[in-house]
């Protein structure tokens, strides 16, 4: 008696099925770290808002929110690649956000302040170049450092007292 | 943990209200009784999302603040009307019975399939994936880049202002707002910006997507086992679709509406569509254009593929079909006008920077990157090779059958993706990163719709057992 023949289409289907199941196993390995973290958090009950509250950056933003009034606008000096500016904007809303590229010359800072009416300047993580010394020395009366928000620099701005007086 | 558990009833209530808003409207459309209960549920969700969010746009124009009463209450009227009509009341009771007996039906179908173990494996894979995605969605706060930068931010802003307010944010303000408004609607249910619970929207949407995909496959003659297998295959081929089940991006919505529009037109071309499918296609197309900036180009690609298929095949009455499709496309275009006029009224720039030039170097690189993305395991793994294999298997007939529509849609969407990269205003050094960060999403939009190409080989190789 002849064994039953399997149609070629079925054979191809079986091959694809086998290949896909191998891929599913690989997918399990791919998601394993996330699944493990999920399991840990479920067991410890540290989920939802607790995850945000544990994040040092979000904690820092909460202390920043206590300083900046909700109706104020602020300049956030950071490179967008870091992805921190979008988190700051999200958590600090309804405060009006303006991102500011720290690689521009100081004169651009003055024009941006004038254009946006920002009353706070936040410099998150930046090696300040010599041209920006007027911030560190506190010689410009338009910039008043806000203590207690280190390691970032936070300045309260008073646009009426801003003094430029140089060309770059 | 307690806050999350206490918020779950509000989440479920919010999701149910979206379905009910759409379900009420759907039952009032001609041909609603020709849909299966699964189709009514899935399309009801899609239609509810469209209706609620367009209404929220209208409320903003009327300067009426968002609240549960102003946003959700008007949709009780069509629901009440359907309960008053005896023919629609019958559908209600049939669907409620179907929903209650759903787990038993699933087990029975698995038992009756020719290979019960395989059916069980597919079902377990789907269930496990959704369990993981749902927990991952609702237990973690909003986190992915665009979720924080665009969609989640807008949802928070709209909720805090109780209106579609774009006054003090700059987050692609010209993008359509179906997803952020729907998240805002859920915040109204929660009574606050609970940005972890709101992500429960996405696994729910994914379940509707899979339900619709399965329904379309069944209409195309695929067996129960084949349908389960195809659903599990589409869901777990690569990581992209799974990840989009738990991040607050608009791409899952776009994927859902692309499947709905493409599937309904494909069924129409194959003469196995439910009655009133063109009206539904118009609504799904409108939702597609309202989901994301890429929505309208996708609508055009789908209709171009349908027009070319009709012109090539010239089936009986093709001129009438052609004219009907032109009307549907025109209706979809008209549906985009309220948003276009709204943003024009605000003086918002509409992203014309994407059309300022063509960069040949980027074009060549895009051909390479998109080609690579089609087979890159973490993206879609075996999916695109399987679709190409399925179309290749039908190569003798594909030119003489409505399957040509899917082949043209595949070609058109890939060409559009490559072209979009060729005109993207990106610095040369950043271009590879830009492609890597976006190509999986652009391909995801067409994945379930192209999964319908698997129907023909599955129907041929895995015929339904008489009892299934």
The pLDDT tens digits for A56-91 are 999 999 999 999 999 999 999 887 777 899 999 999
Most confident listed range (A123-137, B301-315, B341-355):
B301-315
CA dihedral of B203, B208, B210, B215, whole degrees rounded to 10: 170
Please work out, in degrees rounded to the nearest 5, the angle formed at the alpha carbon of residue B220 by the alpha carbons of B258 and B257. Answer: 10
Any B CB within 8 A of A93 CB:
yes
The residue among A28, A90, A93, A116 with the most chain B CBs within 10 A of its CB, best to mutate, is: A90
Which residues 4-33 in chain B show a CB within 8 A of chain A?
A: 4
Residue A168 pLDDT greater than 60, yes or no:
no
Instruction: Please report how the helices B277-291 and B295-313 are oriented relative to each other, as an axis angle in degrees rounded to 10.
Output: 140
pLDDT score, position A160: 79
> Residue B338 CB: number of other CB atoms within 10 A?
13
Listed residue (B15, B26, B47, B46) closest to B95, CA to CA = B26
Residue B286 pLDDT greater than 70, yes or no:
yes
Of B138, B197, B461, Cβ closest to residue A13:
B461
Of B4, B242, B389, Cβ closest to residue A47:
B4
- The mean pLDDT value for A96-106 works out to 85
pLDDT, tens digit, 9 for 90 and up, residues B111-153: 888 888 888 999 999 999 999 999 999 999 998 999 999 999 9
Long-range contacts of B297-302 (CB under 8 A, 24+ apart): B297/B416, B297/B420, B298/B254, B298/B258, B298/B413, B298/B445, B298/B446, B299/B261, B299/B329, B299/B332, B301/B409, B301/B412, B301/B413, B301/B416, B302/B258, B302/B261, B302/B262, B302/B265, B302/B409
> Does the beta-carbon distance from A96 to B125 stay under 8 Å?
no
> Does the beta-carbon distance from B135 to A42 stay under 8 Å?
yes
- Minimal CA separation from B236 to chain A, in Å: 7
pLDDT, tens digit, 9 for 90 and up, residues B162-171: 999 999 898 8
Listed residue (B268, B298, B343, B319) closest to B442, CA to CA = B298
Q: Is the dihedral of CA B16, B135, B176, A84 positive or negative?
A: positive
For chains A and B, what is the number of CB pairs under 8 angstroms?
Answer: 99
Any A CB within 8 A of B242 CB:
yes
pLDDT band at B417 (very low <50, low <70, confident <90, very high): very high
Spell out which residues of chain B touch residue A7, defining contact as CB-CB under 8 Å. 461
- The mean pLDDT value for A15-24 works out to 92
pLDDT score, position B301: 97
Give the nearest chain A residue to B380 (CA atoms).
A23
Spell out which residues of chain A touch residue B386, defining contact as CB-CB under 8 Å. 16
Any B CB within 8 A of A84 CB:
no
> Does the beta-carbon distance from A38 to B135 stay under 8 Å?
yes
- Minimal CA separation from B140 to chain A, in Å: 5
More confident residue, A134 or B241: B241
Residue B351 pLDDT greater than 70, yes or no:
no
Q: What is the token pair recorded at B130?
A: 């959704």
Of A20, A42, A90, Cβ closest to residue B148:
A90
pLDDT, tens digit, 9 for 90 and up, residues A35-53: 999 999 999 989 988 998 8
Phi-psi region of B238 (alpha: psi -120 to 50; beta: other; left: phi over 0): left
- Minimal CA separation from A152 to chain B, in Å: 22
pLDDT band at B462 (very low <50, low <70, confident <90, very high): confident
Q: What is the token pair recorded at B42?
A: 């899935």
pLDDT, tens digit, 9 for 90 and up, residues A104-154: 888 888 888 888 889 999 988 767 766 777 777 667 788 888 888 887 889
Give the nearest chain B residue to A38 (CA atoms).
B136
Give the nearest chain A residue to B126 (CA atoms).
A24
Listed residue (B398, B374, B401) closest to B386, CA to CA = B374
Spell out which residues of chain A touch residue B197, defining contact as CB-CB under 8 Å. 48
Of B153, B168, B382, Cβ closest to residue A20:
B382
pLDDT band at B52 (very low <50, low <70, confident <90, very high): very high
Any A CB within 8 A of B270 CB:
no
> Does the beta-carbon distance from A27 to B139 stay under 8 Å?
no
> Does the beta-carbon distance from A42 to B460 stay under 8 Å?
no
List for chain B the helix, strand, coil content (%; round to 5): 75, 0, 25
pLDDT band at B465 (very low <50, low <70, confident <90, very high): low
pLDDT score, position B468: 41
Any A CB within 8 A of B193 CB:
no
> Does the beta-carbon distance from B382 to A31 stay under 8 Å?
no
Listed residue (B243, B149, B245, B147) closest to B205, CA to CA = B245
> Does the beta-carbon distance from B457 to A13 stay under 8 Å?
yes
Listed residue (A57, A147, A166) closest to A107, CA to CA = A166
Residue B467 pLDDT greater than 50, yes or no:
no
């Amino acid at each position: 008696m002849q064994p039953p023949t399997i149609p070629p289409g079925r054979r191809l289907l079986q091959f694809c099925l086998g290949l896909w199941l191998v891929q599913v196993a690989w997918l399990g390995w791919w998601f394993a770290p996330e699944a493990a973290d999920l399991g840990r958090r479920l067991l410890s009950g540290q989920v939802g808002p607790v995850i945000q509250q544990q994040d040092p950056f979000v904690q820092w933003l909460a202390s920043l929110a206590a300083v900046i009034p909700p109706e104020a606008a602020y300049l956030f000096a950071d490179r967008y690649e870091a992805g921190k500016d979008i988190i700051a904007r999200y958590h600090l809303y309804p405060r009006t956000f303006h991102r500011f590229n720290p690689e521009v010359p100081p004169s651009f800072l003055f024009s941006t302040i004038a254009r946006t009416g920002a009353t706070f300047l936040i410099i998150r993580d930046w090696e300040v170049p010599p041209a920006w010394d007027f911030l560190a020395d506190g010689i410009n009366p338009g910039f008043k450092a806000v203590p207690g928000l280190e390691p970032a620099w936070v300045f309260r701005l008073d646009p009426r007292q801003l003094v430029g007086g140089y060309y770059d | 943990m307690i806050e999350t558990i206490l918020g779950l009833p509000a989440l479920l209530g919010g999701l149910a209200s979206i379905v009910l808003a759409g379900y009420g409207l759907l039952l009032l459309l001609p041909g609603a009784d020709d849909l299966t209960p699964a189709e009514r549920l899935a399309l009801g969700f899609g239609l509810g999302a469209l209706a609620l969010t367009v209404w929220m746009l209208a409320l903003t124009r009327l300067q009426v603040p968002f609240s549960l009463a102003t946003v959700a209450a008007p949709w009780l009227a069509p629901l009440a009307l359907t309960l008053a009509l005896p023919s629609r009341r019958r559908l209600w009771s049939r669907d409620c019975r179907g929903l209650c007996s759903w787990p038993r039906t699933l087990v029975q179908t698995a038992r009756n399939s020719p290979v019960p173990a395989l059916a069980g494996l597919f079902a377990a894979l789907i269930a496990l994936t959704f369990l993981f995605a749902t927990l991952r969605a609702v237990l973690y706060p909003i986190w992915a880049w665009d979720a924080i930068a665009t969609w989640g931010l807008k949802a928070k802003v709209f909720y805090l202002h109780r209106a579609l307010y774009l006054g003090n944010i700059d987050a692609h303000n010209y993008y359509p707002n179906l997803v952020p408004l729907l998240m805002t609607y859920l915040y109204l249910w929660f009574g606050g910006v609970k940005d972890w619970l709101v992500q429960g929207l996405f696994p729910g949407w994914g379940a509707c997507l899979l339900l619709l995909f399965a329904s379309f496959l069944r209409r195309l003659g695929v067996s129960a086992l084949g349908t389960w297998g195809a659903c599990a295959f589409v869901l777990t081929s690569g990581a992209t679709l799974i990840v989009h089940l738990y991040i607050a991006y608009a791409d899952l919505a776009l994927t859902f509406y692309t499947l709905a529009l493409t599937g309904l037109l494909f069924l129409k071309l194959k003469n196995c569509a439910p009655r009133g499918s063109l009206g539904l296609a118009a609504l799904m197309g409108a939702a597609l254009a309202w989901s994301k900036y890429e929505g309208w180009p996708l609508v055009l690609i789908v209709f171009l593929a349908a027009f070319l298929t009709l012109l090539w095949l010239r089936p009986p009455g093709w001129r009438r079909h052609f004219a009907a499709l032109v009307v549907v496309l025109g209706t979809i275009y008209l549906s985009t006008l309220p948003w276009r006029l709204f943003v024009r009224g605000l003086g918002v720039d509409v992203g014309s920077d994407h059309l300022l030039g063509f960069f040949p170097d980027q074009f060549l690189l895009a051909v390479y990157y998109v080609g690579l993305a089609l087979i890159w395991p973490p993206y879609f793994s075996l999916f695109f090779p399987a679709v190409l294999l399925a179309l290749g298997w039908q190569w003798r007939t594909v030119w003489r059958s409505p399957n040509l529509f899917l082949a043209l849609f595949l070609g058109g969407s890939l060409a559009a993706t490559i072209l979009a990269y060729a005109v993207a205003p990106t610095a040369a050094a950043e271009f590879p990163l830009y492609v890597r960060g976006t190509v999986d999403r652009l391909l995801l939009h067409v994945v379930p719709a192209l999964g319908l190409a698997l129907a023909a080989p599955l129907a041929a190789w895995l015929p339904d057992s008489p009892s299934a």
